[in-house]
Amino acid sequence: PPRSTLFPYTTLFRSLADNPVLGVEMPERKLKRPHKALSIEEARMLLSKMNEPERTITIVATLAGLRIGEILGLRWGRVHLDQCTLEVEETCYKGVFGTPKSKASRRGTPLAPAVVQALDAHRSRCKDTSANALLFSKGGNEPLSADNLRKKRLASACRRAGLRRIDWHTLRHTYSTLLHDLGTPIRVQQTLLGHSSAATTMDVYTHPVSTSERDAVSRLGEVLFPTVPKLHQNAAGKETGNTLTQ
């Protein structure tokens, strides 16, 4: 056991006369180097130098804010392009599938028109689009490796774009930063990002996609993809409009 728990027991049973770590202050924990978000121009440049499937993965990460494990765990049965939403219910880490890290991470996510367009194009290239099929796989429904994608595909795209090397979380941080810069309310940001602090006052399992969340991701999509047409809702609340052509 850790020393902090070991020594109280040794003093309790008289193994040691005094607790030698009592009063000792632990050094301040060093935080990991913070991720620096991409600028709008950097994000556009990166996307212009990417191939598939990493381009679509990057669009989903940057405009929907999903973690790379959440993206690699997506299945077509949880992607609803006609409703412009997807459900985050599964993650994939080093080829092993599991549930999201917290209750708040299990969420419905609204999709900007640019994301719908990218996913629709990606679906047309997939051999298997059944409900259980992964969006991104090697074939035979075997998941892609986040590390291999980062080291080979993402790093190469950064080099071609003349950008510093980044990791997948940089894209999620870019999403968060752009939402903040657009003035998105903090509670909407927390819900979209799937942070557990947003789950204290709402049930994320049945949480409907609110108008404010849809507005937030639509504005974000317009910043990076201004030429993609907006969606409109009819009286029944369903999205309508030509979102798949420019």
pLDDT, mean of residues 117-131? 97
pLDDT, mean of residues 50-65? 96
Backbone angles phi, psi at 170, to 5 degrees: -60, -35
Average pLDDT, whole number, for the chain?
Answer: 79
Is the per-residue pLDDT at 200 higher than 70?
no
Q: Structure pTM?
A: 0.73
pLDDT, mean of residues 47-73? 96
The pLDDT tens digits of the residues spanning 163-187 come to 999 999 999 989 888 888 888 888 8
Asked if residue 53 has a cis previous peptide bond (ω within 30° of 0), the answer is yes
Residue 149 DSSP label = I
